[in-house]
Amino acid sequence: MIQFTHLGRRTCWNARNWLPVVSSGRERELAHRSYPILFEDWDMDRIAKDYGDAAEQMQAAGLDGFD
């Protein structure tokens, strides 16, 4: 069993080649003081696909569940 999570807007503005932080609102993130961009339909599709890919990789590694 393994646990994976999404930290939402908790990230760093200069995280190398990562996409910008996306959110449903434009509120400033207090820890790193940057503003997210509003997510679009393709962002939600991308995030859902990434979670699905992660679940498949965990299953391929022999794990039988995730939380």
Return the domain boundaries, the chain: 22-60
Half-sphere exposure (Cβ direction) of 3: Cα atoms closer than 13 Å:
2
* Confidence (pLDDT) at 51: 85
- pLDDT 10s digits, 8-65: 666 665 656 666 778 888 888 777 777 888 888 898 898 889 888 988 988 898 887 7
Could you tell me which residues are beta bridge partners of residue 66? Answer: 2
Spell out the residues 6+ positions from residue 25 whose beta carbon is closer than 8 angstroms to its own.
Answer: 36, 38
Q: What is the pTM of this model?
A: 0.61
Backbone angles phi, psi at 13, to 5 degrees: -65, -25
